[in-house]
Structure 1
Amino acid sequence: MEPQLIKTELVEGHIALVTIDNPPVNAHSTQVLDELMWTFDSLSDRDEVRVAVLTGAGKVFCAGADIKSRVGVERKPGDHWQGSRRAREAYHCIMECQKPVIAAINGPALGGGLAIAASCDILVASEKGCLGLPEIDVGLLGGGRHAQRLFGHSRLRRMMLTGLRVYGPELYRLGIVEECTTPETLMDVAMGLAREIASKSPIASRLAKHSLNQIEEMSLRDGYRFEQGMTGQLGKTEDSREAMRAFVEKRKPVFTGR
């Protein structure tokens, strides 16, 4: 596949910059969802990439479903289920990507756009970035379960029942994003986080993300046991031995991904 609406650029230090570029509001059309899946699945297999930054072109991160394309269109049998499955898999391909993904929320991330942002590992937002569930106003539902990973009980219900948008400063106050920046400095902050992650062992990052995904709904006992198993796997790698040597020798480690 040669993606047209999801642009990927390999930048300094093992970082992939992924941009949703579907003017005017980066709505997630069928093509966008298919290209998201292909992009993040391919990043999993690219050894030169250790971390990805996901953002939107222009002033919007992702406005979610393309409502205009739905008006007046008669759905064929199976269309709803196919579209729903495509959206689910597109979000999960970000969660399941072998590389950590940072969301740089440059503008509104609404509905499915919120789900895309919530599927990332670390979130940063500009003052103009916001998360919202506007489906109540356009005859739809959805996105609540993804938002539930970010917001508390009352705020989530207010968002879903009223269409409230929560902007960068409030997202930072609530601890939902790591930083709230000016629009001009958003990418610098996101790239700084990406460089820090990319400096770590890519094996350790991959196993850490996999562990966090798996233990999210496990009991304390089962979750910690799973982490211990991942620690055992990591300890067999050259990167693990190099990290220990570097610590003892008081120098920066040189990781090879082996």
Structure 2
Amino acid sequence: MGSLRVPRRRRQPHREEERLPLRAQRSRLTDIRNLIARIAEAERGGRLGEVEGLQVSLAGAHRRPHHCIDAPAPSLKIHARHEAELPMLQFMRSVFVFPTGERAETVASLDRHLPEQRDPWTLDGNLYINIDDEQTGYLFSDWDPEDVAILEAAIGHHPTWAVEIDISGRIDGTAEVHQMIALLLEHGGVAMDDYTTHPWTLPEILSGAVIDGLRFFDFRGYHELHREHGRF
């Protein structure tokens, strides 16, 4: 069984991360500032597709590990400011999919169904699909260790890559997410959303199974449960 959670909880940095140079943190903050400026420019030009693509990049920048805890305040200020300036970002939702099989097989499947694009693949301009990993990306960098342990127990090993799907706040997204999940989990595997710690199988998702009061990607139910508990 899973449990209700605050979406995508961040772990505390390891001590060896705390000793990394401050320039790594400054570089990250510079990237965030540049992305915010580019988003504002695209919004002024009415380029909504570009806005959402940049928002995905901005969300990814915020998911990078905080390599130095000596300077958290600038990051928090930027986060608060971009939430005020870019209200659509807070409605972007994410799903992580861990398919059975090799990474190359998943890439080939995405290429067949969403041709002539990559990094990200997009579905109708509303879903942004990337493959993330631990070696060159940021997979698990902001996951709680308990969440990773639950995932490992469900699939029997520690996964080193995943398909990350970011869903636009302009749409409900449930049907589109189910469409992509059905493709990616055709041969097995699990998916995890922002709302429970449960690793969802394809039969559970398609049947509308309820775990801890929620279905898969049940963002509306999640917010209702939190209102009932006085958390919103």
Assess same fold via TM > 0.5. no
What is the TM-score of this pair, normalised by structure 1? 0.30
Please, what TM-score do these two structures have when normalized by structure 2?
Answer: 0.32
State which structure, 1 or 2, has the greater radius of gyration over its C-alpha atoms: 1
Structure with larger RCO (C-alpha < 8 A, sep 6+): 2
